[in-house]
Each structure stands twice: as C-alpha cells, then as structure tokens.
Amino acid sequence: MSEASIKENLKEIKHRIKIACEKSSRNPEEITLIAVSKTKPNEAIIEACTAGQLHYGENRMQELQDKMERIELPGIQWHMIGTIQSNKIKYIAERVHWIHSVSKAKYLNEIEKRASSANRTINVLIQVNISGEDQKSGCEISDLPKILGHAKQLEYVQIKGLMGMATFTDDPEDVRHEFALLRTTLEDHKHFNGNNIELKELSMGMSGDFEVAIEEGATMVRVGSAIFGSRNYG
Ligand SMILES: *Cc1c(COP(=O)(O)O)cnc(C)c1O
C-alpha cells in the first residue's frame, strides 16, 4: 500500500468514527483508534505515524517486541491484543503501554513482577468471552470478581477496563448484543474501582464492526485491515 492510501484510510476510518459518534450522541474524543499493524512492515507503521496515528496493536508478543525495539517515535503507544504467553511478558514489559488480552490472574502476577522490575506501570484490560463460543479466548463473566479482587492487591498493574471479541459475522448487527453485554458487564463491576482499578475502557470493534461497537459504548476500537489492507495470515 502506498503512503497516500494508509493516510486516506485513516482519514476515512476517523470520519466513520465521527458518524457513529453522532448517531449515538457521543464525543469522538472518547474513542481511541488502535491501528492493528500485525504482519505489516515497520514502514507501514511509520507512514501511519506520519499521518498522526499514535496507537498500534499487535497480537504476537515476539512481533510486538521487535517492532517496539525498532520503532521509537515520540508519543507512540503499543497495545498487546493477542494471546498472552507468560514466559514472554518479560520481553515486552519495558515498552508496552496496554495489554488487552489478560484472562487469568496468573498473567496479572507475571505482569506485576515484570512491570515492577522495569519500574513502570502497565495498563491492563481483562478480556471477556462475549461470543459464547468455546474456542474464543477470554474469561467468563463469572470469573471477573475473582480476577478483579486479585488485581486489587497489585500496584504496577493498572486495570483500565474490558476487552471483547465478537463472533465473526457478515452483518455486524448480529453481534450488537455481544457489545452491549460487554458494556453492561463493565457497569456491573464498577464497584471494584479504586486504587489501581478504574473500569472505564471498553476495547471492542474491529474493521467489520467498529461502528456498531461505538454505538454500544466502545472507547477503544482495534482496526487493522481497513487501515493497512488485508493480511495473508494473522
Ligand atoms: C487482527 C485483530 C484485530 C483487527 O482485525 P481487522 O479485522 O483487521 O480490523 C482486532 N483485534 C484483535 C484481537 C485482532 O487480533
């Protein structure tokens, strides 16, 4: 993809975010656009940065580590959005700003340990299974009190909200209720707020369904192919 088209795509996505916000009486400034750059070369990220895009999401820890080490631009923020491997947290802890995909207390312990060594806090979202599909990652809603109760004892882990992946579908209207479920789940657990827990962010919505996610309360949308073009894998 040429520089112009990444830039154009970003402009188009931001416009669509604005329309979705107007439709649902929300302020577009409440929405963080995370450009999901997995499988894409560093040059694509640098092009997007040049167009003013600061948030990037990666779903493989090794790839995230490589990109964070090679691309150091002022203001850039890195989001880990894929499957967590406990033994690799130490490699990303010095640079990652957000980890969206935490579904177990044991990962929180490892993030705490590594963030503490790096003497920096890391923002964490708990991934919840909202699709009801067995193979989808994320904890069950009923696991949340235990995970949040555990997180309360930590210091370097800053819990900021919830993340969810909707069922893959051609018609985003089919998954509106899944986004709504994540939103009510966030509301239902706000009594955990205090100290290092601030349930506020809702990371939901991808290229095919981010507008519906915004209408249902998303504060972070993770958009890959609509910005960088389609992928062969990942
Ligand atoms: C790949 C990925 C996305 C972005 O998907 P697109 O359909 O390309 O926008 C969002 N979230 C997660 C967790 C992903 O792995």
Our answer on whether the CB atom of 157 is closer than 6 Å to any ligand 1 atom is no
Our answer on whether the CB atom of 34 is closer than 6 Å to any ligand 1 atom is no
- Residue 187 in domain: yes
- Residue 189 in domain: yes
Instruction: Give the pTM.
Output: 0.96
Atom index in ligand 1 nearest the CA of residue 206 equals 9
Our answer on whether the CB atom of 222 is closer than 6 Å to any ligand 1 atom is yes
Atom index in ligand 1 nearest the CA of residue 210 equals 9
- Residue 161 in domain: yes
φ, ψ of residue 137 to 5 degrees: the values are -80, 170
Both tokens assigned to 28: 């577009």
- Residue 233 in domain: no
Q: Could you give the residue ranges of the DSSP H alpha helices within the chain?
A: 3-23, 42-50, 61-70, 89-92, 105-118, 144-151, 176-188, 210-215, 225-228
Scanning the structure block, which residue is given the tokens 């479920």?
181
φ, ψ of residue 42 to 5 degrees: the values are -55, -35
- Residue 137 in domain: yes
Both tokens assigned to 159: 């819990």
**CATH assignment at residue 73:** 3.20.20.10
Atom index in ligand 1 nearest the CA of residue 234 equals 1
Our answer on whether the CB atom of 67 is closer than 6 Å to any ligand 1 atom is no
Structural domain count, the chain: 1
Q: Determine which residue's CA is closest to atom 12 belonging to ligand 1.
A: 81
- Residue 77 in domain: yes
- Residue 131 in domain: yes
Atom index in ligand 1 nearest the CA of residue 226 equals 9
Q: Do the beta carbons of residue 177 and residue 132 sit within 8 Å? A: no
Our answer on whether the CB atom of 223 is closer than 6 Å to any ligand 1 atom is yes
- Residue 234 in domain: no
Which is nearest to 103 in space by CA: 158, 144, 145, 161?
A: 144
Scanning the structure block, which residue is given the tokens 């640079």?
95
Q: How far apart are CA 152 and CA 99, in angstroms?
A: 17
Our answer on whether the CB atom of 40 is closer than 6 Å to any ligand 1 atom is no
Q: Whole domain around residue 184: which residue ranges?
A: 3-228
In order along its 234 residues, the chain shows pLDDT tens digits of 444 599 999 999 999 999 999 999 999 999 999 999 999 999 999 999 999 999 999 999 999 999 999 999 999 999 999 999 999 999 999 999 999 999 999 999 999 999 999 999 999 999 999 998 777 789 999 999 999 999 999 999 999 999 999 999 999 999 999 999 999 999 999 999 999 999 999 999 999 999 999 999 999 999 999 999 998 765
